[in-house]
Structure 1
Amino acid sequence: MFGFVICNRNNLKDSEYDRYRSAYCGLCMSLKKKYGNLARFALNYDMTFLATLLGSLYEGIDICKKEGYISETNKVCNSDSRDNAYQMSQIQQIRCILHPMKKKNILHNKYIDYAADMTILLMYYKCVDDIEDDGKVTAKVYKTLLKKAYKNIVDTYPRQTLCVKKSLEKFTELEKKGELTPDVATNLSGAMLSEIFVYKEDFFAENLRRFGYELGRFIYLIDATVDYEKDIKKASYNPLVYMNKKPNEMYEILEQAIGNATYYYEKLPIVEDENILNNILYNGVWQKYYMKINREVEKNGK
């Protein structure tokens, strides 16, 4: 399910892409500092999006409060504070093992640390799922290596952990019984992300929860679309089979799914990084789908 919530580099300014990459590198560094170098194998752009979203939402609000644009009880932030909204994040320049010759901008804030924790949580349960499906040795090894980090996350984030755990268990149970319908599978995928997108229970929690839920449903459907042939060959569950749909027939369903997600996204008073987030949600998430469809067109000569 990882790898779909990404930017379209061609439609971002250089400064915006640099900002986006600094969040990605910041997530990588946070994973290393909190959980060691091996945790960096779990790095993905999907959780970079989460870190950027939460930082854009909460840091902008905090800056507005600090500068007096809104009070503690007001719900809407005046965008006049944009020039100062990066003050609460720290940006450092460091060299990393992959780029030793040139220093990279590293963005750090508490939302990136939160995204690092959620990265480990999701990767741990991805290993659980891979072991259940294929008995992968690599998944077993990585799950063992993540065990200590996972236990810390369970203690710190019981709400998020319980939601992911229950959703995956239900998914596995229904799949074994042959009772996993496309709607149920899609909804369970949405449920897994719903609580992860809720950083804290506050005024924004419900819209974040609904956004995460709908985005999770979209990710599951587009992942199934892109992996259709691979799943057929492996005899893995794929909702398109039950829906009697081929990948090139999924556009309208996917469009509605991402539309449901952006409906709740647009209710959030995003102060910073709006162009980056919009680029991802309205453009970037479609890239792998279009690559697949274009390959099919070329293959069929149409």
Structure 2
Amino acid sequence: MYGYISLFFKPNEKERIHYTSHYCSLCHSLKKEFGNLYRMFIVREVSFFSIIKLKFDERNLKEIRCPWVGFKKRYIYKDLEKFKEFSYLNAFIIYGKLYDKLFDSNLEKMYIFIKGLRKKIVSYYGEEFINEYESILKKQFEIEKNNHELDEYFLPSIEITKMIIEKHGLDLPDDFSNYVGSLVYLYDAIYDFERDIKKGNFNPIKVTFNVNKLSDLSKEEKEYINFIIDYSTKEIISIFENSKINNKHFVKKLFSFSAIYHKKKIEELLLSDKTKNKKTKIDDTLYLKI
């Protein structure tokens, strides 16, 4: 799962335009490269990566009226070509999630339905790159067949993050991939825990700690999970601070407020006997109001 980084704070006008211009430009680029259907599956981290890589340039924006949000005023970049790489990255991630779902649900025979998407992303990334991606996904399936320490399950996620960072020329060190890959995988495990238990799917927290409720984790186990989250978050912010990325202050603010939001939600889940959708659903209201 992706979608963890968003506007979990009330932005000023410049921040609002900055964020939505990247998000909306990605949306329009997806329409251009893949068609309208893929606009429904925007990965917010991809928009975040575009903010890291592309310097905000208010002079090169144009105003639009978006039918997806009641014809409200939005802004997109005049030159959508610079967002082409991010529309392909979005499709790359969606392909991986579909690939994972098919194999996780023992529906390998349904793979034919995503072959068209594979062909499209191969045209951009090349066969070798996509083969490597699929190899890592299969490695994840194999790792999940056996019992390991929790952090060993993070390794494929770390590898995929590193692939993305290197391929798209994001000026960030390898440690960034280690912390982001670990954090995303752990967030997935926590937010998907109840659903995985109900469906009998693999969940690394269940397997590692032998529990059927997050609230059944021992104090030490909860502290260990919180340590991974806190340490990874701290190191990611430090990397942003010491890097040469564009829009550094805004990037740090987006990530920091998102991390605070998820930390609070996860603490609720670890303490509660109930992990219903109303507690685990990501709150979109701040984004939808802007």
Normalised-by-shorter TM-score class: 0.7 to 0.9
Give the distance between the partners of 1:136 and 1:286, measured in 2 at CA: 37
Q: Which residue of structure 2 aligns with residue 6 of structure 1?
A: 6
Partner of 2:133: 164
**1:174 shift after superposition:** 2.4
Indicate if the aligned counterparts of 1:20 and 1:276 stay in contact, CA closer than 8 A: no
Q: What amino acid maps onto 1:279 in structure 2?
A: K
Residue 191 of structure 1 corresponds to which residue in structure 2?
A: 159
Q: In 1, Cα distance between the equivalents of 2:96 and 2:90?
A: 10
Partner of 2:219: none
Pairing of 1:8-87 with structure 2 (within 5 A): 8-10=8-10, 12-56=11-55, 86=57
Distance change in 2, residues 1:29/1:135 (3 Å): farther
Matched, 1:281 2:255: yes
Total equivalences in the alignment? 262
Which residue identity is paired with 1:259? K
Whether 2:71 is the aligned partner of 1:101: answer yes
RMSD: 3.0
User: Using the alignment, how far apart are the partners of 1:158 and 1:261 within structure 2?
Assistant: 30
Matching of residues 255-270 of structure 1 within 5 Å: 255-270=230-245
Q: Distance in 2 between matches of 1:123 and 1:53?
A: 21
**Cα pair distance change 1:261/1:295, threshold 3 Å:** closer
Identity rate, percent = 21
Q: Hey, what's the Cα distance between the residues in 2 that align with 1:174 and 1:112?
A: 35
Structure 1 CA distance, aligned partners of 2:69 and 2:267? 34
Please report the TM-score for the alignment, with normalisation by the length of structure 1: 0.74
Partner residue of 1:91? Answer: 61
From 215, 226, 239, the counterpart of 2:180: 215
Q: Which whole-Å CA distance do the structure 2 matches of 1:24 and 1:100 have between them?
A: 16
CA distance in 2, matches of 1:266, 1:110: 29
Distance 2:235 2:141 in 1: 26
For each residue in 1:227-258, what CA deviation from the matched residue of structure 2 results, as whole angstroms up to 9, or x when unmatched?
Answer: 22222222322222344384754322211122
Pairing 1:150–2:121 present:
yes
Q: Is the 8 A contact 2:9 2:257 kept in 1?
A: no
Q: Deviation per CA, 1:139-172: give whole Å up to 9, x if none.
A: 85862452342231342x854x344322211111
Which amino acid in structure 2 is aligned with residue 227 of structure 1? D
**Unpaired runs of 5+ in structure 2?**
216-221, 275-290
**TM-score between both structures, scaled by the size of structure 2:** 0.77
Would you say the 8 A contact 1:95–1:102 is kept in 2? Answer: yes
The answer to whether the Cα contact below 8 Å between 1:190 and 1:216 also exists between their aligned partners in 2 is: yes
Q: What is the identity, as a one-letter code, of the residue corresponding to 1:263?
A: S
